[in-house]
Amino acid sequence: MALEFVVDPPLTPELRAGIVALWVEVTNAGGAVGFVAPVSRTQVEPVAEAAFTGVEAGIDHLLAGFDNGELVAFLFVVSNRFALKEHWRVLKRVMVTPASQGRGYGAALMREAEKYARQLGLAALQVTVRGGAGTEKFYERLGYREVGRIPGALRVGPGDDRDEFFLWLALD
C-alpha cells in the first residue's frame, strides 16, 4: 500500500474535480455519503462546494488519501460551529474509491483522522451512519460505539426510511 495522507491539501481545480468525481462514483456504487444513487456531478457539486468553503475558511479540514498520487479516499473533519462543542468534531463524507475497497484504505483513513484529531487536542470524534448499509460495524471495529439512533430519520426513497446512527470515539 503506497497510501499517503494529506491534511488540507490545496483545493486546486483538479483536486476539487477529483473529490466530486469520487463522491459521484462512491454514491453510484451504493455508498451512503449524503446522496442516493443514481447521482450526477451537478447534484454533488453544490454540496462539495459548501464543504470546500468550510475548509478554505479554516473552520473545517479535509483529509485526503492518495495512492501513487491518485485521490482514493477522503473525509472532512467538521466543526460543530458551537463554542460548547469545540472539544470534538464530526467526520463527514468518509469515502474510499470502490476500486480500492478491501485494501484497508478505509481503516487507514479513519486511523489517520483519529491521529489528526489527537494532534488538534480533541476529546472525541463523531460519525453519523445511514442504517441498512451495515457500515456501523466497520466503525465499531475501529473503536466507535453507538451513542444514539433516530428511527426512520433518513428517507432514501418512497417507503424506504432508514435509521440514522450516531457513533462516538472518545480520544481521552
Which triple of cell numbers denotes residue 50? 459548501
Q: Over 70: is that where the pLDDT of 14 sits?
A: yes
DSSP string, 91-128: EEEEEE-GGGTTTTHHHHHHHHHHHHHHHTT-SEEEEE
Tell how strand 124-130 and strand 160-170 pair up: antiparallel
Q: Which pLDDT tens digit goes with each residue over 61-106?
A: 999 999 999 999 999 999 999 999 999 999 999 999 999 999 999 9
Domains and CATH numbers, the chain: 3-170 (3.40.630.30)
Tell me the C-alpha distance between 126 and 90, whole Å. Answer: 5
Residue 1 has pLDDT above 90, yes or no: no
Q: Quick one: what percent of the chain has pLDDT higher than 90?
A: 97
Q: How confident is the model at residue 172 (pLDDT cuts 50, 70, 90)?
A: confident
Mean confidence (pLDDT) of the chain: 97
Does the structure show a pLDDT above 90 at 11?
yes
Taking CA 51 as the corner, what is the angle to CA 20 and CA 149, rounded to the nearest 5 degrees?
Answer: 100
